[in-house]
Amino acid sequence: MNKIKISAVAYTNTKAFIYGLEHSEIINKIDLSLDIPSDCAAKVISGEVDLGLMPVAAIPLVPNANIVADYCIGSDGAVNSVFIFSDVPIDEIKTLKLDAHSRTSNNLAKVLLKFYWKQEVDFTTEPLAKADAIVLIGDRTFGKKDDYAFVYDMGEEWKNFTGLPFMYAAWVANKEISHEFKDEFNAALKFGLAHRKEVLQDLPKSPNFDLEDYLYHKLQFDVTADRTKALQLFLEYIRQL
Ligand SMILES: C=C(O[C@@H]1C=C(C(=O)O)C=C[C@H]1O)C(=O)O
């Protein structure tokens, strides 16, 4: 049997899922690569992999996109790893440097600035550019909150804006995946989430960052009706950018 090729995010937010896949029989049926989110998206879009835990903002670019799992990377309010870090308050930001790793959070920053804060901002992806503020996501944000004068958690700001939770990344396939595989895949993800304690024990300690709170509370992994509604709303806002 051909193995299903899968790309997943290489951050701490995905460790429980990886634990589940690696401790299930399904590991023998898949080819798993761990990538930064923008590369996950590129691989699912190009067909280099069949399925990926990919930034939801890139879903419209995936041919035959379909969400195959009951689990995702989400939050309900603050997530504690998706930020605008700024030298000035939001209503004084004129330039914002985007995060090359990100697809969802870069778009979330644009959506919030335009439709929530109603602030006109120039965006740059130039790594060496000077800017009033930056988007930063994932493990590189751990313990960094005190380094900036103004800190905006975009999960929290999205909730303030819409009253909804958020979905950052989803398990998206670019082709039909069998029910049998989906069931086994979901069971493995569920197993991983149930073993977050073991995952935590294996993670290196992170100064100024509460990993337990992050894995058990800030991150929320269920694809709920409200989170799906938020996804549709977010994609609609992106179309209007
Ligand atoms: C919560 C997070 O969600 C993520 C944010 C993504 C993005 O901005 O494109 C993509 C995948 C997730 O890893 C995070 O990375 O901190």
In DSSP notation, 11-40 reads SGGGHHHHHHHHTSGGGGGEEEEEE-HHHH
**84-94 residue pLDDT tens:** 999 999 999 99
Whether 156 and 54 share a structural domain: no
Q: Which structural domain, as residue segments, surrounds residue 142?
A: 82-162
104: enclosing H helix or E strand:
helix 104-111
- The CA-atom distances, in angstroms, between 127 and each of 47, 90, 123, 159, 223 are 28, 21, 12, 29, 34
Contacts 24+ apart (CB under 8 A), 226-230: 226/164, 226/165, 227/72, 227/74, 227/164, 227/165, 227/166, 227/167, 228/167, 229/164, 230/158, 230/162, 230/164, 230/165, 230/166, 230/167
Q: Which of 14, 56, 73 to mutate to test the pocket of ligand 1 (most atoms within 8 A of CB)?
A: 73
Nearest to 172 by CA among 61, 76, 81, 11: 61
Whether 104 and 142 share a structural domain: yes
Whether 26 and 141 share a structural domain: no
- Counted domains in the chain: 2
CB of 55 closer than 6 A to ligand 1?
yes
Q: Which tokens go with 7?
A: 């790309």
Residues in the chain: 241
- C-alpha of 12 from chain center: 11
CB of 105 closer than 6 A to ligand 1?
yes
Pairing state of beta strands 82-86 and 51-55?
unpaired
Q: What is the pLDDT, as a whole number, of residue 1? A: 65
Q: Which tokens go with 114?
A: 């335009």
Centre of ligand 1 to C-alpha 137, Å, is 6
Last residue of a domain, one of 162, 196, 212: 162
Last residue of a domain, one of 143, 162, 181: 162
Please compute the mean of the pLDDT values over residues 74-82 and round it to a whole number. Answer: 98
Quickly state the pLDDT bin for 32 (edges 50, 70, 90). Answer: very high
**167-212 residue pLDDT tens:** 999 999 999 999 999 999 999 999 999 999 999 999 999 999 999 9
Centre of ligand 1 to C-alpha 1, Å, is 32
Q: Is this complex's ipTM strictly greater than 0.85?
A: yes
CB of 81 closer than 6 A to ligand 1?
yes
**1-11 residue pLDDT tens:** 689 999 999 99
Hunting for tokens 């429980």 — which residue is that? 16
Q: What is the pLDDT, as a whole number, of residue 221? A: 98
Provide the whole-model pTM. Answer: 0.98
- Contact between residue 185 and residue 68 where contact means Cβ atoms under 8 Å apart: yes
C-beta neighbour count of 34 within 10 angstroms: 15
**131-171 residue pLDDT tens:** 999 999 999 999 999 999 999 999 999 999 999 999 999 99
Q: Is residue 241 part of a domain?
A: no
